[in-house]
Amino acid sequence: MSPRESRPELPLDGMLVLDFSQFLAGPVAAMRLADLGARVIKIERPGTGDIGRTLAFAGLESDGDTLSFHIMNRNKESFAADLKSSEGLAEVWKLVAKADVIIQNFRPGVIERLGLGYEDVKKVNPRIVYGSASGYGSTGPWKDRPGQDLLAQSISGLPWVNGSKENPPIPVGLAVADIFTSTHLAHGVTALLLRRERTGVGGLVESSLIEAMLDLQFELISAHMFDPEVIVKRGAKNSAHAFLPAPYGLYETSDGYLAIAMTPIPLLGSLLDLDFSAYEDPASWWSKQEEIMKALATQLKTRTTEAWLAILDAADIWCAPVLSLPELVAHEGFAELDMVQKTQRSSGDGASIVEITTTRSPMRIDGRTVTSTRGAPHVGEHTEEIRQELLGGK
């Protein structure tokens, strides 16, 4: 795709985003804006670029960059600039004057020391929408801690929600703090762009890993503040939720695992050939959770997942197989969602095309999936082109 190609069917077509961010929360927020049609120019240090180019998910890389970088920075251009040099800053300021959006996720105070904080930028470009992500906000006792996903999960208490009472704290095995922060930041940016259409004035949206993790637990935290007696008390071995009674959980079958959600225990017993007549009172689904779930676990091991699904699905019970990653991507349901796209870029030596298979944006616009074939850029790949187009040449 040409840097100037328009996609008028997408809602953010024509918007210019400068992405100063690195690794995950900020780059993914900018990627979400690019998916929606915005033109995103990634501002990178010359030579090394975004640190995310070397931080590899599962140790995977292609064409000199990590797979993580490829999939988080699709559909972007790269402009190389040394923000600590007067020449580099002068060029960046010219871009800032033309931009609609800035995304940054430096530690608190760093972007301000570079002279590119919101208060300085809005003096030059009062229409700017400025998105800022951090680990723990810009004030308070946590503000200088490293803004990393596992650390934010841990401070938020999230690991205590996972697993059963037999387990130690268990973090979520994905970068949920970063991913949710990216979503909130992109959401805030689009909201401020809409406000700017009404008022002509830009604005600042801020979010952080810790705020994303607290928002993820809004039910739990709100309930505790309403009643301090509400605390996390993880349940029986198979339990999947500390605040829901039996049978809510995951159960081993003879060839896999089965998830069962909210279901009346007597009904479930009748379907599974279990005598659950002693549990007519829903209060017992809490007080006798462990013995109920133990009986379920023993019985469900006697047949295959598909055998149990045939029984439970016919009775419209809330249940599902627990798919492995290979089972998921091979499933016809996955294919029907059409969640896969392929991006392309020229290899570093220009001798071939590098193709990356990844997921697409998880939304549809006007009934159509949102996809892009344009791969992540090389460091500074579009610097000269951008200079000619937006900076009037050098």
Give the tens place of pLDDT for each residue, 293-323.
999 999 999 999 999 999 999 999 999 999 9
CA proximity to 183, closest of 213, 157, 158: 213
For residue 7, the SS3 value is coil
Q: Is 37 left (phi over 0), alpha (psi -120 to 50) or beta?
A: left
Report the CATH number of the 249-330 domain: 3.30.1540.10
* β-pairing verdict for 368-369 and 257-260: unpaired
pLDDT tens-digit series, residues 15-27: 999 999 999 999 9
Say whether pLDDT at 207 is over 50. Answer: yes
Residue matched to tokens 């900020």: 26
Task: Say if pTM beats, i.e. exceeds, 0.75.
Answer: yes
Listed in sequence order, the residues at least 6 apart from 323 whose beta carbon sits closer than 8 Å to its beta carbon are 331
Supply the pLDDT for residue 52: 96
Residue type, 343: T
Closest CA to 16 of 93, 87, 101: 101
Q: Does residue 237 carry a pLDDT above 60? A: yes
Q: Residue 268 pLDDT > 70, yes or no?
A: yes
For 137, residues 6+ apart whose C-beta sits below 8 A from its C-beta are 108, 143, 206, 208, 210, 211
Give the mean pLDDT of the chain. 97
Chain centroid, CA 176 distance in Å: 6
**Phi–psi pair at 350, nearest 5 degrees:** 70, 10
Domain ranges in the chain are 16-216+351-390, 249-330
What's the mean pLDDT in 79-87? 97
Q: Select which of 149, 178, 281, 316 is catalytic.
A: 178
CB 50 within 8 A of CB 30: no
Closest CA to 62 of 382, 348, 325: 348
Which two structure tokens, joined as six digits, stand for 389?
């187009």
**In the Cβ-directed half-sphere of 9, how many Cα atoms lie within 13 Å?**
9
Q: Which residues pair with 79 in a beta bridge?
A: 43
Nearest to 3 by CA among 384, 349, 362: 384
Does the annotation count 178 as an active-site position? yes
What is the secondary structure of 192-226 as a DSSP string? HHHHHHHHS--EEEEEEHHHHHHHHTHHHHHHHHH
What separation in angstroms does the CA of 354 have from each of 59, 344, 345, 377? 18, 5, 5, 11
pLDDT tens digits, one per residue of 132-175: 999 999 999 999 999 999 999 999 999 999 999 999 999 999 99
Task: Please identify, in words, the CATH class of the domain defined by 16-216+351-390.
Answer: alpha beta
Q: Do domains 16-216+351-390 and 249-330 have the same CATH topology?
A: no
